[in-house]
Structure 1
Amino acid sequence: MEWAALGDSYTAGVFVGAPRPELGSADRDGCDRTTGAYPNLVETKLAAEPPAGRTVRLTDFSCGAATIAEIATARQTPISPVQPPADGWPSVAPPKKIDRAQLSASTDVVTIGVGGNSLPFGKILTSCLLFGTGQEDDATPCRDAYDRGDFILDPESIRDKFQRVFREYVAMLEAVHEKAPNAKVITVGYPTIVPSDATTCDRQDTTELAADIKDAETRLSATHGYIAWLGEVNTELNAIIDDATDLVDYGYTYVDVAASSVGYDACQPRATKWVEGVCGQAGPYWPTDLTLGQDPVRLTLKCSEGNRATLVHPNAAGHANTATLVEAAVRKALT
Structure 2
Amino acid sequence: MRGSTGEEVRVKRWTRLAVPLVAVAVLGGAGLAVAGSSRAPAAPPVERLDKVVLLGDSYSAGNGAGGYLDSCFRTPQSAGRRYAAQVRAAVVDVSCSGAVVADLTHARDQSRPAQVDAVDRTADVVVLTIGGNDVGFGTIVVQCFLFGTGTADGGCADGIQRAWAQLPRLRTDLTAALTQVRSRMRPDATLVLRSYPLLAPDRPLVEQGGYDANRGIRALGRAGTAVQQEAVDAVRASAPGRERTYLDTSAATVFAGHELGAKPAAGAKADPWFVGFGTRGGRQAEVYHPNPAGWAAWGDSLTRFLAPRTR
Amino acid at match of 1:274: W
Distance 1:61 1:227 in 2: 32
Shift of the alpha carbon at 1:317?
Answer: 1.6
Given the superposition, is the C-alpha separation of residues 170 and 189 from structure 1 closer, same or farther in structure 2, using an over 3 Å criterion? Answer: same
Given the superposition, is the C-alpha separation of residues 230 and 333 from structure 1 closer, same or farther in structure 2, using an over 3 Å criterion? Answer: same
Distance 1:222 1:246 in 2: 39
Asked if the contact 1:17/1:34 (under 8 Å) is kept, the reply is: yes
Aligned 1:141-220 pairs, distance under 5 A: 142=155, 145=158, 157-182=162-187, 183-199=189-205
Q: Does 1:93 align with 2:112?
A: yes
Q: Does 1:72 align with 2:102?
A: no
| Corresponding residue SS for 2:212 | helix
| Corresponding residue SS for 2:96 | coil
TM-score relative to the length of structure 1: 0.66
In structure 1, the partner of 2:255 is 261
Shift of the alpha carbon at 1:132?
Answer: 4.0
Distance 1:93 1:264 in 2: 34
Given the superposition, is the C-alpha separation of residues 263 and 130 from structure 1 closer, same or farther in structure 2, using an over 3 Å criterion? Answer: closer
Asked if the contact 2:136/2:163 (under 8 Å) is kept, the reply is: no
In structure 2, the partner of 1:126 is 142
Higher RCO structure (Cα 8 Å, ≥6 apart):
2
Asked if the contact 2:204/2:215 (under 8 Å) is kept, the reply is: yes
In structure 2, the partner of 1:36 is 77
Q: Does 1:19 align with 2:68?
A: yes
Asked if the contact 2:144/2:213 (under 8 Å) is kept, the reply is: yes
Distance 1:5 1:66 in 2: 13
Asked if the contact 1:109/1:333 (under 8 Å) is kept, the reply is: no
Q: Does 1:325 align with 2:301?
A: yes
Distance 2:64 2:142 in 1: 20
Going by fraction, where is strand more abundant, 1 or 2? 1
Asked if the contact 2:143/2:156 (under 8 Å) is kept, the reply is: no
Percent identical among aligned pairs is 24
Aligned 1:235-314 pairs, distance under 5 A: 235-249=222-236, 250-251=242-243, 252-256=245-249, 257-268=251-262, 272-282=271-281, 287=283, 290=284, 310-314=286-290
Asked if the contact 1:9/1:66 (under 8 Å) is kept, the reply is: yes
Q: Does 1:4 align with 2:10?
A: no
Distance 1:253 1:130 in 2: 34
Please point out which of 61, 82, 98 is paired with 2:94.
61
Aligned 1:219-234 pairs, distance under 5 A: 225-234=212-221
Given the superposition, is the C-alpha separation of residues 118 and 260 from structure 1 closer, same or farther in structure 2, using an over 3 Å criterion? Answer: same
Distance 1:145 1:113 in 2: 24
Shift of the alpha carbon at 1:196?
Answer: 1.4
Given the superposition, is the C-alpha separation of residues 146 and 120 from structure 1 closer, same or farther in structure 2, using an over 3 Å criterion? Answer: closer
| Corresponding residue SS for 1:277 | coil
Q: Deviations over 1:259-281 (max 9, x none)?
A: 23211112137851112223324
Q: Deviations over 1:184-211 (max 9, x none)?
A: 1011111131111124x8x7xxxxxxxx
RMSD (Å), alpha carbons: 2.8
Given the superposition, is the C-alpha separation of residues 242 and 43 from structure 1 closer, same or farther in structure 2, using an over 3 Å criterion? Answer: same
In structure 2, the partner of 1:208 is none
Shift of the alpha carbon at 1:253?
Answer: 1.2
Distance 2:200 2:144 in 1: 15
TM-score relative to the length of structure 2: 0.70
Distance 1:36 1:108 in 2: 20
Given the superposition, is the C-alpha separation of residues 73 and 267 from structure 1 closer, same or farther in structure 2, using an over 3 Å criterion? Answer: same
Name which of structure 1's ranges 169-178 and 9-18 shifts more when overlaid on structure 2: 9-18
Shift of the alpha carbon at 1:226?
Answer: 2.1
Amino acid at match of 1:93: R
In structure 2, the partner of 1:81 is none
Structure 2: stretches of 5+ with no match in the other structure: 1-49, 237-241
In structure 2, the partner of 1:217 is none
